[in-house]
Amino acid sequence: MSEIHDFLRDCYDSTSVKCDFICAVNDWNLTPNIKNIVSQIHPETMKRYYGCGLNTPEGIEGKRVLDIGCGSGSLVFLLSKLVGPTGSVVGVDLSPNLIAECVNREDYHRSRWGYDKKNTEFFVGNAENMSQLKDQSFDVIVSNGVFCLIPDKSKSFAEAYRLMKDGGELYLNDIYAETPAPAELRDDLKFWDWAVTGSQLPDELLSSAKDVGFSPPYLTSVGPIDVSDSFKTLLPGRRYLCAGNRMFRLGSGSDRGPASVTYKGNIKNHESEFKWDVNLTFKTGEAVTVDGALAAILANTRYRDSFDLQDTSGPAETRRCQNPFAYLDQLSSQGKRPRCIFTVGVYL
């Protein structure tokens, strides 16, 4: 553990008693079903929600899910409802106090969801080395507002890849910066707490994913972050935002060419359409031609039973806007900018 880890552990340990910082829930992105589940999560858990957008992977009933940097457990308890009694969710966090909060609320959520046995488990641990967890033991891994705090991100991406089964999905909601952190601020630990130092640039996410073997990420959401007046002078013109990205671990032999794909409408709570990313929403029964990269994902992951695929050589839907800052600018110019998730450098 480095000085940065110790500092962050102490900051987050103190949030279990202090609670003086608020993150907005990204409700503009959530379905009515998810909003209903969030409304049933214990208020003391949600009071300590410090995420940058709840990430809710579809079609996870019966699956085993890991939340890296679970904090007070908001996302773990939400996902523990979505995976149902036959699935399970594991939460790992650096802060012993927040893990204790999670353990204290397990029985409340077990009973709230109507399960005989709890389907959650929590560990104190470091995302850079989760040696207590076995190779290829998770179908889906999520993380919300955490990779931006990790000093050695290559180790955490490698750990996520190691823990993921072939065909598994890494769904990251995180903070990104548009430009590198000013060198003179890098040694000041308080800037780590605000993710000023540790936020990746969007291109760094693409290379981090590629370097360990994940598919290129698909951008699923953006949420604005403001910078307080006092921080603006230290960070002139520097922009941050929250973005959701999904990427996959595909086994060997998964490559394939473009395909005409038709969504079958069989994912629970997504019967009429399935929003893949900010560029593409599959409508039930409507064929779309996708490029080989996306066809390979749809054919080799848990989504394989949700699509009919026919090989094609026709013009394909290819990846479009992937830069979250460009996408946020596009939304803003259309008058659709979502509300701010939080303000860097402000304590409420």
In the complex, which residues of this chain contact ligand SAM (CB under 6 A)?
5, 8, 12, 49-51, 69-72, 74-75, 92-95, 98, 126-128, 144-146, 149-150
Q: Which of 59-79 are b and which e, b meaning 16 or more Cβ less than 10 Å from the residue's Cβ?
A: bbeebbbbbbbbbbbbbbbbb
The least CB distance from residue 92 to ligand SAM, in Å, is 6
Residue closer to ligand SAM (CB basis): 199 or 289: 199
Q: Which of 321-339 are b and which e, b meaning 16 or more Cβ less than 10 Å from the residue's Cβ?
A: ebbbbebbeeeeeeeeebe
- Calculated CA dihedral for residues 22, 28, 34, 36, nearest 10 degrees: 80
Q: Can you read off the two tokens belonging to residue 304?
A: 């394989």
Residue closer to ligand SAM (CB basis): 170 or 290: 170
Residue closer to ligand SAM (CB basis): 5 or 210: 5
Name 120's bridge partners: 89
Residue closer to ligand SAM (CB basis): 12 or 327: 12
The least CB distance from residue 309 to ligand SAM, in Å, is 35
- Helix axis angle, 3-18 relative to 96-104, nearest 10°? 40
The least CB distance from residue 72 to ligand SAM, in Å, is 6
Residue closer to ligand SAM (CB basis): 66 or 278: 66
The least CB distance from residue 37 to ligand SAM, in Å, is 15
Residue closer to ligand SAM (CB basis): 30 or 259: 30
The least CB distance from residue 51 to ligand SAM, in Å, is 3
- The string of DSSP codes covering 28-51 is GG--HHHHHHHTTS-HHHHHT---
Sheet hosting strand 259-263, strand order edge to edge:
287-290, 259-263, 307-311
Reference 71, options 32, 53, 45; nearest CA is 45
- The string of DSSP codes covering 291-329 is -HHHHHHHHHSGGGGGEEEEE--S--B------HHHHHH
The least CB distance from residue 26 to ligand SAM, in Å, is 11
The least CB distance from residue 318 to ligand SAM, in Å, is 32
240-249 and 218-227 beta bridge pairing: antiparallel
Residue closer to ligand SAM (CB basis): 71 or 338: 71
C-beta of residue 234 within 8 angstroms of C-beta of residue 277: no
The least CB distance from residue 314 to ligand SAM, in Å, is 42
Residue closer to ligand SAM (CB basis): 105 or 303: 105
- Residue 169: CB atoms within 10 Å: 27
